Protein backbone atom coordinates (compact mmCIF):
# COMPACT_ATOMS: atom_id res chain seq x y z
CA UNK A 1 0.00 0.00 0.00
CA UNK A 2 1.43 3.36 -1.00
CA UNK A 3 1.83 6.09 1.59
CA UNK A 4 3.84 9.23 2.11
CA UNK A 5 6.83 8.60 4.31
CA UNK A 6 8.79 11.28 6.11
CA UNK A 7 12.17 9.88 6.97
CA UNK A 8 13.98 11.58 9.82
CA UNK A 9 16.29 10.60 12.64
CA UNK A 10 13.39 9.95 15.00
CA UNK A 11 11.12 7.83 12.89
CA UNK A 12 11.06 4.06 13.29
CA UNK A 13 11.35 2.13 10.04
CA UNK A 14 9.54 -1.15 10.58
CA UNK A 15 9.74 -2.76 7.16
CA UNK A 16 12.50 -2.27 4.64
CA UNK A 17 11.50 -4.74 1.93
CA UNK A 18 10.12 -2.15 -0.39
CA UNK A 19 9.78 -0.67 -3.80
CA UNK A 20 10.13 3.11 -3.57
CA UNK A 21 8.38 5.79 -5.56
CA UNK A 22 9.64 9.27 -4.72
CA UNK A 23 7.19 12.10 -4.37
CA UNK A 24 7.96 14.62 -7.15
CA UNK A 25 7.76 17.39 -4.54
CA UNK A 26 9.90 15.85 -1.82
CA UNK A 27 11.68 18.41 0.33
CA UNK A 28 14.32 18.67 3.03
CA UNK A 29 13.35 20.72 6.05
CA UNK A 30 14.23 20.00 9.66
CA UNK A 31 15.95 16.76 8.59
CA UNK A 32 12.81 15.50 6.82
CA UNK A 33 12.64 13.60 3.54
CA UNK A 34 9.22 13.15 1.96
CA UNK A 35 8.77 9.94 -0.02
CA UNK A 36 6.02 7.69 -1.24
CA UNK A 37 6.65 4.00 -0.69
CA UNK A 38 5.03 0.78 -1.81
CA UNK A 39 5.88 -2.12 0.48
CA UNK A 40 6.08 -5.49 -1.23
CA UNK A 41 5.94 -8.71 0.79
CA UNK A 42 8.02 -11.58 -0.56
CA UNK A 43 5.93 -14.28 -2.27
CA UNK A 44 7.14 -17.43 -0.47
CA UNK A 45 5.76 -18.28 2.96
CA UNK A 46 7.69 -21.52 3.57
CA UNK A 47 10.31 -19.90 5.80
CA UNK A 48 12.43 -22.52 7.65
CA UNK A 49 11.68 -22.91 11.35
CA UNK A 50 15.36 -22.32 12.13
CA UNK A 51 15.39 -18.93 10.36
CA UNK A 52 17.61 -16.42 12.10
CA UNK A 53 14.77 -13.98 12.64
CA UNK A 54 11.70 -15.32 14.50
CA UNK A 55 9.62 -12.54 12.92
CA UNK A 56 10.48 -13.61 9.36
CA UNK A 57 7.27 -14.72 7.63
CA UNK A 58 8.10 -14.53 3.93
CA UNK A 59 11.17 -15.06 1.78
CA UNK A 60 12.34 -14.17 -1.71
CA UNK A 61 14.61 -17.19 -2.15
CA UNK A 62 15.07 -20.71 -0.88
CA UNK A 63 18.52 -22.14 -0.23
CA UNK A 64 18.62 -25.83 -1.12
CA UNK A 65 20.92 -28.61 0.03
CA UNK A 66 22.88 -30.55 -1.16
CA UNK A 67 22.86 -28.37 -4.30
CA UNK A 68 23.96 -25.38 -2.22
CA UNK A 69 22.27 -22.79 -4.39
CA UNK A 70 19.31 -20.45 -4.29
CA UNK A 71 16.07 -21.67 -5.83
CA UNK A 72 12.71 -20.06 -6.64
CA UNK A 73 14.28 -16.81 -7.81
CA UNK A 74 12.37 -17.15 -11.09
CA UNK A 75 9.00 -17.06 -9.31
CA UNK A 76 10.08 -14.12 -7.17
CA UNK A 77 11.34 -12.16 -10.16
CA UNK A 78 8.13 -12.76 -12.12
CA UNK A 79 6.09 -11.80 -9.06
CA UNK A 80 7.94 -8.50 -8.60
CA UNK A 81 7.84 -7.72 -12.33
CA UNK A 82 4.06 -8.12 -12.30
CA UNK A 83 3.82 -5.89 -9.23
CA UNK A 84 5.86 -3.16 -10.92
CA UNK A 85 3.69 -3.40 -14.04
CA UNK A 86 0.49 -3.03 -12.04
CA UNK A 87 1.61 -0.35 -9.57
CA UNK A 88 4.44 1.55 -11.23
CA UNK A 89 6.20 3.36 -12.65
CA UNK A 90 8.81 3.82 -9.90
CA UNK A 91 11.79 6.11 -9.61
CA UNK A 92 13.86 3.66 -7.58
CA UNK A 93 13.96 0.56 -5.45
CA UNK A 94 15.00 -0.03 -1.84
CA UNK A 95 16.08 -3.46 -0.67
CA UNK A 96 17.08 -5.11 2.59
CA UNK A 97 19.16 -8.28 3.00
CA UNK A 98 17.95 -11.17 0.80
CA UNK A 99 15.56 -8.85 -1.01
CA UNK A 100 18.57 -7.18 -2.61
CA UNK A 101 19.11 -10.15 -4.92
CA UNK A 102 15.64 -9.91 -6.42
CA UNK A 103 15.59 -6.12 -6.26
CA UNK A 104 18.81 -5.75 -8.22
CA UNK A 105 17.68 -8.47 -10.62
CA UNK A 106 14.45 -6.62 -11.46
CA UNK A 107 16.51 -3.47 -12.00
CA UNK A 108 18.72 -5.35 -14.46
CA UNK A 109 15.76 -6.93 -16.21
CA UNK A 110 14.13 -3.53 -16.73
CA UNK A 111 17.38 -2.10 -18.09
CA UNK A 112 17.88 -5.02 -20.49
CA UNK A 113 14.31 -4.76 -21.72
CA UNK A 114 14.55 -1.00 -22.21
CA UNK A 115 17.73 -1.45 -24.30
CA UNK A 116 16.21 -4.37 -26.21
CA UNK A 117 18.99 -6.68 -25.04
CA UNK A 118 18.83 -10.38 -24.18
CA UNK A 119 20.72 -12.65 -21.83
CA UNK A 120 20.05 -15.56 -19.48
CA UNK A 121 17.87 -13.38 -17.25
CA UNK A 122 15.54 -12.24 -20.03
CA UNK A 123 15.37 -15.75 -21.47
CA UNK A 124 14.21 -17.15 -18.14
CA UNK A 125 11.55 -14.48 -17.82
CA UNK A 126 10.28 -15.12 -21.34
CA UNK A 127 9.41 -18.65 -20.21
CA UNK A 128 6.84 -17.10 -17.87
CA UNK A 129 5.60 -13.99 -19.69
CA UNK A 130 5.77 -12.88 -23.32
CA UNK A 131 8.30 -10.08 -23.62
CA UNK A 132 5.92 -7.71 -25.38
CA UNK A 133 3.90 -7.53 -22.14
CA UNK A 134 6.81 -6.42 -19.97
CA UNK A 135 7.02 -3.01 -18.28
CA UNK A 136 4.70 -0.88 -20.43
CA UNK A 137 5.28 2.16 -18.15
CA UNK A 138 8.48 1.43 -16.24
CA UNK A 139 11.82 2.88 -17.30
CA UNK A 140 15.21 2.02 -15.81
CA UNK A 141 15.43 2.94 -12.13
CA UNK A 142 17.11 6.22 -11.32
CA UNK A 143 18.66 4.78 -8.15
CA UNK A 144 18.95 1.69 -5.96
CA UNK A 145 19.18 1.70 -2.13
CA UNK A 146 20.69 -1.42 -0.57
CA UNK A 147 20.73 -2.02 3.19
CA UNK A 148 22.58 -5.08 4.48
CA UNK A 149 22.52 -6.67 1.03
CA UNK A 150 25.04 -9.17 -0.31
CA UNK A 151 26.41 -10.90 -3.36
CA UNK A 152 25.04 -14.48 -3.67
CA UNK A 153 28.36 -16.31 -3.97
CA UNK A 154 29.91 -19.20 -2.07
CA UNK A 155 33.35 -19.32 -0.46
CA UNK A 156 34.90 -20.38 -3.80
CA UNK A 157 33.52 -17.30 -5.55
CA UNK A 158 30.91 -19.22 -7.51
CA UNK A 159 27.51 -17.60 -7.93
CA UNK A 160 24.60 -19.28 -6.14
CA UNK A 161 22.27 -17.89 -8.82
CA UNK A 162 23.17 -18.61 -12.47
CA UNK A 163 23.08 -15.11 -13.92
CA UNK A 164 24.82 -13.26 -11.07
CA UNK A 165 28.39 -14.18 -12.06
CA UNK A 166 28.86 -11.50 -14.71
CA UNK A 167 26.08 -9.08 -13.83
CA UNK A 168 26.86 -5.36 -13.57
CA UNK A 169 24.67 -2.36 -12.81
CA UNK A 170 24.59 1.16 -14.22
CA UNK A 171 22.12 2.73 -11.79
CA UNK A 172 23.46 5.02 -9.02
CA UNK A 173 23.43 2.98 -5.81
CA UNK A 174 23.77 3.59 -2.09
CA UNK A 175 25.09 0.60 -0.12
CA UNK A 176 24.63 0.71 3.65
CA UNK A 177 26.76 -1.84 5.54
CA UNK A 178 26.82 -2.58 9.26
CA UNK A 179 30.33 -3.05 10.62
CA UNK A 180 28.96 -5.43 13.27
CA UNK A 181 26.65 -7.34 10.93
CA UNK A 182 26.70 -11.00 12.04
CA UNK A 183 24.14 -12.14 9.43
CA UNK A 184 25.79 -10.81 6.26
CA UNK A 185 29.57 -10.47 6.14
CA UNK A 186 31.05 -7.11 5.17
CA UNK A 187 33.08 -8.93 2.52
CA UNK A 188 29.93 -10.22 0.82
CA UNK A 189 28.33 -6.77 0.87
CA UNK A 190 31.51 -5.23 -0.52
CA UNK A 191 31.60 -7.81 -3.32
CA UNK A 192 28.14 -6.62 -4.33
CA UNK A 193 29.38 -3.01 -4.38
CA UNK A 194 31.95 -3.94 -7.04
CA UNK A 195 29.14 -4.87 -9.45
CA UNK A 196 27.88 -1.27 -9.49
CA UNK A 197 29.53 1.35 -11.68
CA UNK A 198 28.23 4.31 -9.66
CA UNK A 199 28.25 3.10 -6.07
CA UNK A 200 28.27 5.12 -2.85
CA UNK A 201 29.05 3.18 0.34
CA UNK A 202 28.09 4.08 3.90
CA UNK A 203 29.25 2.06 6.93
CA UNK A 204 27.42 2.28 10.23
CA UNK A 205 28.60 0.92 13.57
CA UNK A 206 25.70 -1.49 14.10
CA UNK A 207 24.54 -4.83 12.76
CA UNK A 208 21.92 -6.17 10.34
CA UNK A 209 19.33 -3.40 10.37
CA UNK A 210 18.45 -0.01 8.91
CA UNK A 211 20.27 2.74 10.84
CA UNK A 212 18.25 5.85 11.68
CA UNK A 213 20.89 8.17 13.11
CA UNK A 214 21.83 11.66 11.97
CA UNK A 215 24.77 10.42 9.90
CA UNK A 216 22.56 7.98 7.96
CA UNK A 217 19.93 10.61 7.28
CA UNK A 218 22.59 13.02 6.06
CA UNK A 219 24.10 10.39 3.74
CA UNK A 220 20.69 9.47 2.32
CA UNK A 221 19.82 13.12 1.79
CA UNK A 222 23.11 13.78 -0.01
CA UNK A 223 22.66 10.75 -2.22
CA UNK A 224 19.12 11.69 -3.24
CA UNK A 225 20.19 15.27 -3.93
CA UNK A 226 22.95 13.96 -6.18
CA UNK A 227 20.55 11.66 -8.04
CA UNK A 228 17.92 14.39 -8.40
CA UNK A 229 20.42 16.75 -10.02
CA UNK A 230 21.61 14.11 -12.49
CA UNK A 231 18.20 12.68 -13.36
CA UNK A 232 16.01 15.77 -12.75
CA UNK A 233 13.73 13.95 -10.33
Range list of β-strands (E), 42-196? 62-64, 69-71, 92-96, 143-147, 173-178
Under 8 Å CB-to-CB from 59, ≥6 apart: which residues?
42, 44, 45, 46, 47, 98
Q: Residue 156: pLDDT above 90?
A: no
Q: Residue 7: pLDDT above 60?
A: no
**How far apart are the C-alpha atoms of 183 and 229, rounded to whole Å?**
35
pLDDT tens by residue, 72-119: 888 999 999 999 998 888 888 988 898 899 999 999 999 999 999 988
Superfamily in which the 2-231 domain is placed by CATH:
Alpha/Beta hydrolase fold, catalytic domain (3.40.50.1820)
Consecutive H or E run containing 110: helix 99-114
**How far apart are the C-alpha atoms of 220 and 33, rounded to whole Å?**
9
Q: What is the mean pLDDT of the chain?
A: 79
**How far apart are the C-alpha atoms of 164 and 107, rounded to whole Å?**
13
Q: Is 18 exposed, middle or buried (0-12, 13-18, 19+ CB in 10 A)?
A: buried
**How far apart are the C-alpha atoms of 51 and 127, rounded to whole Å?**
31
**How far apart are the C-alpha atoms of 143 and 123, rounded to whole Å?**
25
Contact predicate 177/202, CB 8 Å: yes
- Domain ranges, ordered by start, for the chain: 2-231
Q: Residue 229: pLDDT above 90?
A: no
More reliable by pLDDT, 157 or 67: 157
| Predicted confidence band of residue 47 (pLDDT cuts 50, 70, 90) | low
* Distance from chain centroid for Cα 77: 12
Amino acid sequence: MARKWKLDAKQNVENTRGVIRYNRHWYFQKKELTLTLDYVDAPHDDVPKNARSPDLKYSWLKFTLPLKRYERWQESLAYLAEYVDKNGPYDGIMCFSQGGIIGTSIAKLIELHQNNESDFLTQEMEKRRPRESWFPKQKAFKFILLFGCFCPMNERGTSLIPYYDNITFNEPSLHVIGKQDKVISNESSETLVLKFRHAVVHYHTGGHYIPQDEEMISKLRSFIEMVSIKSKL
